[in-house]
Structure 1
Amino acid sequence: MQKLINKRSYFLFLFITYSCIICSCKQNPEKVSRILSLSGQNKSELEKVIAYFEAENNPEKLKVAYFLIGNMEQQFSYEGEVVENFDVLFTKLDSLHQKKATLLTNSPVLNSIWDSLTTIYGYPNLSLAEKVPDYKKIKADYLINNINEAYYQWKNNPLISYLSFDDFCEYLLPYRVGTERIEPWRAKLYQAFQLQLDDKTKSDQFQMAKRINVILRENIALNHTINKYPFDMTARQMEMAKRGACKHLVNYEAMVMRANGIPVAIDEVPLWGNMDRGHHWLTIIQDKKKTFAFNAAQDPFGGLDTTPYTFAKVYRQTSTAQNVLPLYHEDIPASILNDYKKDVTSSYTKTFNINIKLNYQSGKGYKHAIICTFARRWEAQAWGNLQGNVAEFKNMGTNVVYMAMLYDGNKLLPATNPFILTNKGTIRYLYPEASLQDIVVDRKFPNSRLNTHNASSLLGGQFQVANTADFKNAQCFYTISTIPARGCDIKGPLKGNYRYIRYLAKKGEKTNLAEMEVYTVNHKQDTIKLKGQILGAPIIPTAIGTNYTNVFDGDPETYFSGVKDSVSWAGLDLGSAKKIVKIRFYPRSDTNFLIPGDVYELFMWKKDKWLPLGKQMTKTWKASFSQIPVNALLLLRNHSRGKEERIFTYDDGKQVWW
């Protein structure tokens, strides 16, 4: 028997060796041959994959293998010491989850862990990591198993019988989703999630995707600290961390969806048209060329159709090169040179091709112009061909302020006035006109839905006064009846003097109060701020919330979050009974509304720079500026605090954000 086994092993060895030799001699597709020539000592692993599927005598599966190998040139992992040093982060996170610790979006516990690691190893940086090409390291077994598992799903799952070969290769087959280190994930994620789905859900692709998204939402979440981790996570790392940046969540959910037979694309806006950051999400490739876009692990399922942000450019991640980059691209910033992204902007918003004439720079010596949006500074969104002094930009999203610029290999040079591309496809240039107007501003950055959500929890909350520490027989000074969009000054109708004052959250609501100031008047009738001993409840562990002492720390950027379903309040013992004439309070917010006592400066864009129009210390929640040119693009800066600021125009007596 032993001799027979040895004999069979010998013939199997000869077969594999012979197959590899035949494979190397056979004419492979050009792209595959190129990868084999680059793969060095790992060439035999790639040849084993080709030999395996040639021996299986399934031309379509061989074509699949060719697809993966032929498109491997841009596939790589970030590896090395700078990556491995932070692996302990996932071990610590896993330990915290095992102990059922509460980890908030801005968890102090995670901040402490991160600070400890960066103190030891320094800040992790992509440029310091080793880029290891897949063709130099990937193993035959890994590729073969991935192909077999994905191909089986495609051919045996009736829910995706509509999927074309090309879409299968792009949106179900890929063995990786980013630059994570390679590890098996497909079979494990299939088994784990199929156990959590009932038969009815499994029979409907949309409902299955929706249910998977719910399961993920209950187990993984965004975290500000992990947002600093610059590397893509493996599936195992995400399962340990259960926390990550937007892209981490998207990558993991893409693996889960593909493992369970749901073809998904990864779409992104590198930069929103009216915001200084970008976003990633997932899109299901459905039957009849339909798609459904949704945010990873978020509620509700979908969300892209209600985003408050505008789409300038949207790209879809691809495995195959799109062959759209020009041969000459020295006049295009590297940040927008990626041939493995497909322009799908028109799937999300109305788009137009536009021709823009340069008027502040000559196009001589340039072949391309760059179209930019504002994100604290002008940032490149796309490039366009230049004919003389006219630039053509294709598929540009509407309701966005753009500027055409030239790139000299080092910096962007303004070449036109800023302009709005309207929903009708018309262009409105923004430049200071001779006509002047007076303006009133109350924010330096547009209000957000998160601000409104946090401030809404103040509804029904009361400011109470009393002369006993237990607030027995307390009098209501003021009840919050409208959602505060900024800080507020309130004056109560009560007469008399009181020693104790507090804010009491409505039962069942989080406190979300950032700051509270109490004022009286002296004998000269001057308004003065009162001090006292800080009181409040409950005491909140730093791991799960923020304490009531933040309400009196003088910083409107800190806040008392409180805990739902508990009596939550923050107040002062003034030491003796005082006449209370005013309360100033701040909701939990981004503090981008105007704050009394802060110094603000107004700027307008003219030709190629921001020109100052006036500076003032505000005394109220608004600021007025006189003799401001009509049709100017404006920017308001707070010199006292904060970095967020957003461009706006002043139309019909109000700020219009772009």
Structure 2
Amino acid sequence: MGCFLHKKTRGGLLLLVFITLFSTCNNNVDDNIGHVLNLAGKNRAELEKVLKHYASNVEDSLKYQAAKFLILNMEGKYSESYNAPWEDVATVNLRWSSSSDKSKVIETFNIGELIRKDDIHHITADYLISNIELAFQVLRDKPWGKHISFETFCEEILPYRIGTEPLENWREKVLASFADLNNSLREDSTITAVKACSKVNDILPRFRMDKDFSNMNYSQLMATTRGMCDSQAALAAFVMRGLGIPVTIDFTPQWKIHPTGHTWNSVSDSIGQHISFMGGETNPHNKHQGNTLQKAKAYRKTFQNQRIVEADKKDIPFLFQDNIINFSPSLDSFYSQIS
């Protein structure tokens, strides 16, 4: 696949070539976008506002394709959060690791039940437009941006959420928190996405391993810095993507010889190869559990909706209800990444 559109000044003809090359991540969207808009109900106007915003200008053709990608795959995405001050939620989280009676803790702190908000019914046009604009901005001003395909961009930089965390303006917060590093990455004309990933990973907060945390957004992860490996991987993905570095979240539900699983990250290099690392802990090309221990299967989380099991949702195992792809590389492939 070709290179990402790096500068607007490349002209209309080149833009047309890029649009043709990078329509991959939006196959059949025109046939399905109406279905999603109908599902949005009263929130349909917000989604249509985003599409109209980018449809009116030919220079925004790629952003229009990006908007359609997000909207087309919005079904099933949602936030789960407590309607309580974060201080109380954080305190409950921190107590869960030393209390087996979780219901009593929740009741005592009076944080209530988890509230679910489906994106398709609650997300705003302003939020989506801001997400799209900042995602394009951070990639276009980075030296490696011209090597990133639009398909990779859609999956590994563009998504506005990681899991079921409460939504926030995390891209603006990342750019504010890591402003100096972001400037140095823009100014280094020779730096690659992989090297940039290592620089960012070196200064991410180190986590204290703890369990039973609710799904946290960027601000909550930065404030708490406690959780399991999936929390580490989520924070790394927020920061990397916020700075224009294409990063995935990979996991195995179970090791071949251990009854537990593990989550880690991978960064996409200039030829589209994914190099694994452990967010906030181990840099690309170095050893970590994800590229040394044998896995029964390995999966990659995606924003694009996947249907890997053909059955009613109630009959699908919990693991396969997430949007994941099976990439299960051989152990030799993992070892080849280690220098």
Q: TM-score range by the shorter chain?
A: 0.7 to 0.9
**DSSP-derived class of the 2:161 partner:** coil
What CA distance in whole angstroms lies between the structure 2 residues aligned with 1:338 and 1:179?
A: 13
Larger RCO, structure (CA 8 Å, separation 6 or more) = 2
* Cα distance, 1:257–1:42 mapped onto 2, change above 3 Å: same
Q: What's the counterpart of residue 212 of structure 1?
A: 200
1:56: how far off? 3.2
Which letter does structure 2 place at the counterpart of 1:154?
L
Determine if the alignment matches structure 1 residue 340 to structure 2 residue 339: no
1:339: how far off? 6.5
Within 5 A, what are the aligned runs for 1:235-274? Answer: 235-274=218-257
What CA distance in whole angstroms lies between the structure 1 residues aligned with 2:237 and 2:53?
A: 28
What CA distance in whole angstroms lies between the structure 2 residues aligned with 1:177 and 1:296?
A: 14
What CA distance in whole angstroms lies between the structure 2 residues aligned with 1:306 and 1:37?
A: 41
What CA distance in whole angstroms lies between the structure 1 residues aligned with 2:127 and 2:69?
A: 15
1:191: how far off? 3.0
What CA distance in whole angstroms lies between the structure 2 residues aligned with 1:178 and 1:112?
A: 21
What CA distance in whole angstroms lies between the structure 1 residues aligned with 2:147 and 2:183?
A: 23
Question: Greater strand percent: which structure?
Answer: 1
Determine if the alignment matches structure 1 residue 232 to structure 2 residue 212: no
What CA distance in whole angstroms lies between the structure 2 residues aligned with 1:271 and 1:256?
A: 27
* Cα distance, 1:249–1:307 mapped onto 2, change above 3 Å: same
1:256: how far off? 0.2
Which letter does structure 2 place at the counterpart of 1:38?
L
Which ranges of structure 1 fall in alignment gaps of 5 or more residues? 1-27, 94-108, 352-396, 398-658
Which letter does structure 2 place at the counterpart of 1:349?
L
Which ranges of structure 2 fall in alignment gaps of 5 or more residues? 1-28, 335-339
Is the 8 Å Cα contact of residues 148 and 272 (structure 2) preserved in structure 1? no
Determine if the alignment matches structure 1 residue 311 to structure 2 residue 295: yes
Q: What's the counterpart of residue 63 of structure 2?
A: 61
Question: Greater helix percent: which structure?
Answer: 2
For 1:18-54, what per-residue CA distance to the aligned partner results, in whole angstroms no more than 9, with x for missing partners? xxxxxxxxxx823221111111221111111111111
1:163: how far off? 1.2
2:72 corresponds, among 62, 70, 87, to 70
Is the 8 Å Cα contact of residues 80 and 115 (structure 2) preserved in structure 1? yes
For 1:380-435, what per-residue CA distance to the aligned partner results, in whole angstroms no more than 9, with x for missing partners? xxxxxxxxxxxxxxxxx9xxxxxxxxxxxxxxxxxxxxxxxxxxxxxxxxxxxxxx
Determine if the alignment matches structure 1 residue 145 to structure 2 residue 140: no
1:245: how far off? 1.9
Which letter does structure 2 place at the counterpart of 1:223?
M
**DSSP-derived class of the 1:132 partner:** strand
Q: What's the counterpart of residue 15 of structure 2?
A: none
What CA distance in whole angstroms lies between the structure 2 residues aligned with 1:342 and 1:91?
A: 32
What CA distance in whole angstroms lies between the structure 1 residues aligned with 2:331 and 2:186?
A: 31
1:91: how far off? 5.8
**DSSP-derived class of the 2:255 partner:** coil
Q: What's the counterpart of residue 172 of structure 1?
A: 157
**DSSP-derived class of the 1:210 partner:** helix
Is the 8 Å Cα contact of residues 31 and 71 (structure 1) preserved in structure 2? no
What CA distance in whole angstroms lies between the structure 2 residues aligned with 1:87 and 1:241?
A: 10
Is the 8 Å Cα contact of residues 313 and 321 (structure 2) preserved in structure 1? no
Q: What's the counterpart of residue 223 of structure 1?
A: 209
Q: What's the counterpart of residue 268 of structure 2?
A: 285
Q: What's the counterpart of residue 51 of structure 1?
A: 52
Q: What's the counterpart of residue 106 of structure 1?
A: none
Is the 8 Å Cα contact of residues 264 and 290 (structure 2) preserved in structure 1? no
* Cα distance, 1:112–1:143 mapped onto 2, change above 3 Å: closer
Q: What's the counterpart of residue 531 of structure 1?
A: none
What CA distance in whole angstroms lies between the structure 2 residues aligned with 1:232 and 1:202?
A: 35
* Cα distance, 1:45–1:257 mapped onto 2, change above 3 Å: same
* Cα distance, 1:311–1:324 mapped onto 2, change above 3 Å: same
Q: What's the counterpart of residue 178 of structure 2?
A: 193
Which letter does structure 2 place at the counterpart of 1:48?
K
1:196: how far off? 3.9
Within 5 A, what are the aligned runs for 1:1-40? Answer: 29-40=30-41
Which letter does structure 2 place at the counterpart of 1:88?
E
Which letter does structure 2 place at the counterpart of 1:190?
L
Determine if the alignment matches structure 1 residue 84 to structure 2 residue 102: no
Q: CA RMSD in A?
A: 3.3
* Cα distance, 1:284–1:322 mapped onto 2, change above 3 Å: same
Is the 8 Å Cα contact of residues 77 and 132 (structure 1) preserved in structure 2? yes
What CA distance in whole angstroms lies between the structure 1 residues aligned with 2:203 and 2:154?
A: 26
Determine if the alignment matches structure 1 residue 321 to structure 2 residue 323: no
1:85: how far off? 4.9
**DSSP-derived class of the 1:188 partner:** helix
What CA distance in whole angstroms lies between the structure 2 residues aligned with 1:92 and 1:328?
A: 38
Is the 8 Å Cα contact of residues 223 and 244 (structure 1) preserved in structure 2? yes
* Cα distance, 1:240–1:160 mapped onto 2, change above 3 Å: same
What CA distance in whole angstroms lies between the structure 1 residues aligned with 2:30 and 2:171?
A: 27
What CA distance in whole angstroms lies between the structure 1 residues aligned with 2:313 and 2:194?
A: 42
For 1:550-600, what per-residue CA distance to the aligned partner results, in whole angstroms no more than 9, with x for missing partners? xxxxxxxxxxxxxxxxxxxxxxxxxxxxxxxxxxxxxxxxxxxxxxxxxxx
Is the 8 Å Cα contact of residues 282 and 294 (structure 1) preserved in structure 2? yes
1:86: how far off? 7.6
What CA distance in whole angstroms lies between the structure 1 residues aligned with 2:319 and 2:90?
A: 36
Which letter does structure 2 place at the counterpart of 1:318?
T
Q: What's the counterpart of residue 139 of structure 2?
A: 154
* Cα distance, 1:161–1:271 mapped onto 2, change above 3 Å: same
For 1:42-75, what per-residue CA distance to the aligned partner results, in whole angstroms no more than 9, with x for missing partners? 1111111111111233222111111000000121
Q: What's the counterpart of residue 3 of structure 2?
A: none
Is the 8 Å Cα contact of residues 182 and 234 (structure 1) preserved in structure 2? yes
For 1:249-273, what per-residue CA distance to the aligned partner results, in whole angstroms no more than 9, with x for missing partners? 2111101000111000111101222
Is the 8 Å Cα contact of residues 78 and 129 (structure 1) preserved in structure 2? yes
Is the 8 Å Cα contact of residues 201 and 208 (structure 1) preserved in structure 2? no
* Cα distance, 1:159–1:86 mapped onto 2, change above 3 Å: same
2:119 corresponds, among 127, 134, 138, to 134
**DSSP-derived class of the 1:289 partner:** coil
Count of residues in Structure 1 that have an aligned counterpart in Structure 2: 298
1:289: how far off? 2.4
For 1:214-240, what per-residue CA distance to the aligned partner results, in whole angstroms no more than 9, with x for missing partners? 111xx331332xx112x2111111122
Misfit runs of 4+, over 4 Å? 89-93, 109-118, 305-308, 327-330
Q: What's the counterpart of residue 24 of structure 2?
A: none
1:111: how far off? 4.2
Determine if the alignment matches structure 1 residue 183 to structure 2 residue 171: no
